[in-house]
Structure formats: C-alpha cells, structure tokens
Amino acid sequence: MNDTRSTDVLIIGAGLAAMATALSLPSHLQIDMLCKGLAHECASAWAQGGIAAVLDPADSIEAHVNDTLIAGAHVNDADAVRDILAQAPAAIAWLIEHGVAFDLQDDGRTLHLTREGGHSHRRIAHVKDRTGLAVHEALLRACRTRGNIRIHESHAAIQLLHAHADSVNTCFGAWVRLPDGQAVPWRAGHTVLATGGLGQLFSRSTNPWTATGDGVAMAARAGCGVRDMEFVQFHPTALQIDGRAAGLITEAMRGEGALLRLPSGERFMPRHDARAELAPRDIVSRAIYAEMQQGGLTHVLLDITHQPREWLAAHFPCVMHLCASHGIDIATQPIPVAPCAHYACGGVRAKVDGSTDLRHLHAVGEVACTGLHGANRLASNSLLECVVMGRAAAKTIATASVTTAATRVTAAPPSVLWTGSMASAPSDLAQHSPIAQVLAHLMDECVGIRRNQQGLSQTARQISAWRKMLGGSDPALSNRLEACSLIVDAALQRTQSCGAHARTGAETIAQNRSEIEMT
C-alpha cells in the first residue's frame, strides 16, 4: 500500500486562483498546494495584460456586463457575470493589500487604466505589460510567509479520490504523483481544482507546458458536469519565430493603437469588423486566420512603430525585451504574429464560489466554468475571475470546515483509492509521447479556429481508439485524451457557429456574430 498523505484543504494548482483561495482561508486550516511543475510555471505568471474592473466614474458595472455579454455571444450566465464583475473593485483592493503595485497615473494616487479589445471603456488595471508576473510574485511571497500553507513543486494530481458518502458523490482528495514518480493518495477535507487551462492540447499555444486539461479531465471522470468546452479561445497575436509561437504579445498593445497589417503594409481589420483591431478576440483571430489562408502566409504583422521608443519602453518593456531577444526592434519594425490556442472558456461546471457537482470539490479559475465568459472571453476578465472565485471558495470552505474537515480526512474509505496501474515516468513526459504529439496536431487541424463535421468526427474516432488501446496505463496521457474528447464532443453537438466556435462545411452556419451586432 502506498503512503497516504492528509490535509484539511488540498489545492491542486499554484496560479492566481489557487493562491487567492489559500490566502483567504483561515490560518487554523492546514493547506497543501500542489504545483505540477515549478511554482512560476503557470498561466497566471505569464499574463501580460491586466485585470478588468470598473474604477472610472465615467464607466459602470452595466457597461462592463454588456461588453462581457457581447464578447460571449450572450451564451454567458448573466447572473454569474454580474456577480463576478460587481466584485472587481474589491478584488483590486485585495490584491493591493497583498502587495501588488499597479501602475498609477501621474498624480501618483489614481490607478492607470488601459483599454483592450471588446471593452467600451478604459478599465484594465495593470503593472506595465507584466501584470500576471507581478501579481503572482506578490501572492507567492505572501503564501510562503503563512505557516499553514505548504507548497509542493513537481507534484501532479492524476485522479480524484471520490465515493458515495451519505448517498452523495463526495471528493476525498486525489492521487498525486510525487517527484520520484511514485503515486500516493492524498486525502483532504476539501479539494480545490485550480489546474488552469488546456492550451497545450494543441501544438501551438501561449500556455505553459502544465496546461494540459488535467483538472477538467479528472473532474469529468469523477462525475462532475462540464459546460462550454467547445469554446477554446485563440489569442490573435502570439509572436511567430521560424513558424512557432515564441511568446505572447499583449492585447493591450492593440488597445494602445497597434495596427494589424499584411506583409504589403495593408491594414486589413476594418474590412472584417467595424471595431477593427479592438474587436473581440474570436473575430480578430478568425480575420488573421482568413488572411493567412488567403495569402498563404505564416503570419501577419502587428505595427506600433508610430509610438516613440521611450513610450514603448515605459508601457511595454516585456514585449520589447521578448522581441529584441529575437532580433526585432518594435520601435522600428512590425511584429510577426499569428493566432495560437490560449484560453478555455469552458470547464468544470461551477458556481461563483467554486462549488461543483461533487461535494467538497471546488473548481476555481480557468478550469472552472461559471458562465462568465460565454462563447468568448472578454480580455482581462480571467484574472479577475481567479481572485473573485478563490476568495468566495475560501469563504464557503471555511464555513463548512469548522466542524467537519478533520472527520472527513479520516473517514475516506479504502474503496475510494484508485487501483489502476501508474506509469513511472514524470507527468511532463506525456507531452513528448508520439500519441500526444499526433493528438496535438490533430487538434490543430480539426478542432482549431475553423472546424467541420468531418474533421471533428475523425478526431473523435481517433481519440476513442487511443483510449481503448491505453486503458489506464498512462494517467497523464489519459487525462489529455479525456480533455480533448470533451472539447470534440461539445463541438460536435453545437452545429452552428458561435463565438470562438466556428463551424464550416455543409452544416447550417449561424450568421456571423459581428454582423448581428452591427445591424
């Protein structure tokens, strides 16, 4: 029998949602936070843009709600949208209390707000173009000062522990792969999924290697409902070097006037949407993709050379450094960009406090789906969601844990322990397996920016064949296949185009959303 670990709250993940949860829990609870890789290897730390919040008197919550619903093609849950966005100012204040130094205006007191695509007002609080890193570093420092929070790097959860208790499907923790490859059951009074997204299921992504959909796969297999899995957002502007994605170029750059051009210098966005470069991400991504297909291009160009070098250095130092490392001077040269898999709008069905269909299992951040994003995430709403959900989940857990956490930790019956075979290789090796590489290219080709019935059906059949062949022999790869299957199944069921889900071919296509909005 493997060693068994136990804790009050097991948080699977170490990004913003995970740390917001941990820091908001009372100090008498023991918290164990698992990092699949190193603590900084998460999408939160890579986020450049900022956090959306209504902080300008000329702005309003209703305007923010309206922008979010438009971007999400009104597939959103309007109640969840209003609930989360109304908490944005408090979320910003909470981050400031925890050491995040947002950029200020010249008066040295008022937050500097920028604007991004899909927003009708300037409402993005930011730290230059490295907001995610600044937030992550501040909260990680705070977590490391708390005696009740233990951070475990290179610990990958691969399967949830769950069973029916009192006739309710209940989560008791997870099977966790340790750095030496051994898998152990880690029991917990409450388990929080904060595993992030799934961009690495595609071969070209802005996500870190850890984003392989493990959380949504584990939850679905344990009996949790999922929603909106077909809505995978592609970021329009990933830096392209030698045909590969070399980093993210923040959307805030277009918010500050950067223009998209063809190699000839022609600007093309105005003929795709009246909002041009400030249209929502799904529209911009499809426009770039269409231009690339039509012209046989590997990329288009993002041009901000009209801004002075000093201004660029003050506003976009990270982008300048990234591009310079590849020999591109953004003050004098346009940036080669193309869309890449970026964000999962769907995920584990959850309430704003992270509650799921499994008792004592919470899902927060990108792995969760409250209905905030709908069919297409509005820029900078995601970091906000992480903070709001993490704080709300902690409040719910704290209330429930006062009298019951310790009892549940010791009450998990042996029958919940998963007995499938465990591969001895570290989890990250799954992405280098031949199946994972072929799978990623298949997702690119058939489940990418444009999809059709034939490609989706072909992908579904291939995934099914691989799953039958593998059985439970490789949990990490099985999680990838499960997550891909959830995306493909949802895409097959939604036969009309909507937001980030664009169907082509013989099936009926809904009228382009941008055309609907413009009429």
For 294, 490, 502, the CA distances from 505, given in Å and listed in that order, are 17, 17, 10
Is residue 302 within 8 A of residue 334, CB to CB? The reply is yes
Active-site positions read 281
Length of the chain: 519
259/253 Cα distance (integer angstroms): 9
Q: What is the CA radius of gyration of the chain?
A: 22
CB-side neighbour CA atoms (13 Å) of 141? 10
Is residue 38 within 8 A of residue 385, CB to CB? The reply is no
272: CB partners within 8 A, 6+ apart: 279, 283, 284, 286, 287, 290, 514
Strand locations in 231-299 (E)? 232-241, 244-248, 259-261
Phi-psi region of 354 (alpha: psi -120 to 50; beta: other; left: phi over 0): left
- What is the three-class DSSP state of 61? helix
Is residue 488 within 8 A of residue 501, CB to CB? The reply is no
186/349 Cα distance (integer angstroms): 23
Q: Which two tokens stand for residue 221?
A: 């297999």
Looking at the DSSP assignment, which residues form a beta bridge with residue 298?
none
